[in-house]
Amino acid sequence: MEARMDLTGNALMNKVIPHLATAGRLTMTSSIPAATLELVRLRASQINGCAFCTDMHTKEAAHAGESAIRLNLVAVWREATVFTDAERAALELTERATRVADGAEGVSDEVWAAVTKHYDEDQIAALLTTIALINAFNRLNIMIRQPAGSYVVGQLG
């Protein structure tokens, strides 16, 4: 399988993607553990069916210290006992924001309350930005059919 378009070989994409990537790097300056942000990226990528991002964020999460058990259970986090209440709040926020088009109510007051219980305003800003950006990257990679499997940790900065 080959991608329909080389994002790095297109002049406009070479102007746009660095801005998205910079925004993503800024979220990493928050006090949320890198592994938690990778779980959020992984879960959104699973929901959206983005193979490239699922590959990437599984590997980046492992590199950030996530165990194979936790990575294997992200897709069924509600039934798994290996996630903290803070991680559960972040994963619920991720699912609600990612599934907005599924006719769900979006982010309910209860979900927001759980997030605010575990995260301060700067951390919430980092979560919101991370979720928005991964959804954008998922959609780009899905549209061009970016193949998965060959990502190397740190490959994209």
- Checking if the pLDDT of 14 tops 90, the result is no
- Checking if the pLDDT of 157 tops 70, the result is no
What's the whole-number average pLDDT of the chain? Answer: 92
Residue 34 lies in a domain: yes
Residue 69 lies in a domain: yes
Residue 61 to residue 117: CA distance in whole angstroms: 24
Residue 3 lies in a domain: no
Residue 157 lies in a domain: no
- pLDDT tens digits for range 85-120: 999 999 999 999 999 887 667 899 999 999 999 999
Measured between alpha carbons, how far is residue 134 from residues 1, 5, 39, 47 in Å? 22, 19, 11, 11
Residue 155 lies in a domain: no
Residue 149 lies in a domain: no
HEC string of the chain equals CCCCCCHHHCHHHHHHHHHHHHHHHHHCCCCCCHHHHHHHHHHHHHHHCCHHHHHHHHHHHHHCCCCHHHHHHHHHHHHCCCCCHHHHHHHHHHHHHHCHHHCCCCCCHHHHHHHHHHCCHHHHHHHHHHHHHHHHHHHHHHHHCCCCCCCCCCCCC
For the segment 19-48, the average pLDDT, to the nearest whole number, is: 92
pLDDT cut 70: percent of the chain above it: 98
Residue 89 lies in a domain: yes
Tell me which residue range forms the domain holding 70. Answer: 8-144
Q: What is the CATH number of the domain that holds 52?
A: 1.20.1290.10
Residue 18 lies in a domain: yes
**Number of domains present in the structure of the chain:** 1
- pLDDT tens digits for range 34-90: 999 999 999 999 999 999 999 999 999 999 899 999 999 999 999 999 999 999 999
